[in-house]
Structure 1
Amino acid sequence: MDKSLDKVDLKLLRLLQQDGRVSNAELAEKANISPATCHRRVERLFSQGVIQSVRAEINPQDIHLGALVIVGVVLDRSTPESFAEFEAAIVRLPVIIDCQLVAGEFDYFLRVRVNDMADFNQLHASQLIALPGVRQIRTFFVMKEVIQHAPLRF
């Protein structure tokens, strides 16, 4: 499926990144297109996978997940099988909000949301060190979130 995007598509994407709850009528007006055209284009962007989802951003402190922890993981082997086994296990941990396979000193970086350091200590002791193939874990407690969920620049 062709995903070529024109200037109108890019404008719609920028506007939706700013406010995903904007009405179709307001979005069409801001993009200077008709509401029907706007609706059709946005639906196409969804069906092509350009827009992957629309969701609410929740204040983590309000739901007792105010501590953000970055975890660097080193596996004991660098094989496709060990990566697959680790990834299959990590997706089953709902406290993990991001997991990236990286090049360099670590194999993976995890972003974890917990209530506090005691919660993380429990998670570390009961689940993280028990993940398959884990040789080393390095933990970084985030002191201040300077940029969060920044829109993509294009």
Structure 2
Amino acid sequence: MLRLLQNDGRLTNADLAAKVNVSPATCHRRTQRLFNEGYIQTVRAIVNPEAVGLGAIAMVGVVLDRSTPESFANFENAIRDLPMVLDCHLVAGDFDYLLKIRMADMADFNRLHGEVLIALPEVRQARTFFVMKEVKDGAPLNF
């Protein structure tokens, strides 16, 4: 059920039930249990970024001033409020965090960088990598 829903979240309960060979009532109960137990977090549409004027992507490696729990918490709390930041991961290696940011174009990123990114709390350095081509993005989980 999870694989089917992951590949097509628009499946009706009746269609899903037929594909997994159970009754619609059983299918509904199982789907509800998957939500209740946290296997399915949410259902949403995937919007074409180009269609809404957000065709550019930047990956930004962020280094914080200090490696303290307070520094990490301050940065994470600030980053959660930025809608243009699609992903934020605490990573091991040269950076503390790796961000995936969507914007309209380079001018939009320039404004974002000058007004928002460098003003984030605890940030010492931000290194930006502009995505030239998305080869694979948002692939379903393989389990």
TM-score by length of 2: 0.98
Aligned partner of 1:5 in structure 2 is none
Aligned partner of 1:88 in structure 2 is 77
Equivalent residues in 2 for 1:100-139, closer than 5 Å: 100-139=89-128
Amino acid paired to 2:109: F
Aligned partner of 2:30 in structure 1 is 41
Unaligned runs of 5+ in 2: none
- Which of 136, 146, 150 in structure 1 is aligned with 2:139? 150
Residue 98 of structure 1: how far off its partner (Å): 0.7
Alpha-carbon distance in 2 for matches of 1:43, 1:146: 34
| 1:96-150 Cα distance to aligned partner (Å, 9 max, x none) | 1111111111000011000001100100000100101111100011111111111
TM-score by length of 1: 0.91
Equivalent residues in 2 for 1:24-35, closer than 5 Å: 24-35=13-24
Q: For this pair of structures, how many residues does the alignment match?
A: 143
- Among the aligned pairs, what percent are the same residue? 67
Residue 48 of structure 1: how far off its partner (Å): 0.8
Alpha-carbon distance in 2 for matches of 1:148, 1:95: 17
2:44 is the alignment partner of 1:51: no
Taking only aligned residues, the RMSD between alpha carbons, in angstroms, comes to 0.6
Give secondary structure in 2 for the equivalent of 1:26.
helix
Amino acid paired to 2:50: Q
Aligned partner of 1:68 in structure 2 is 57
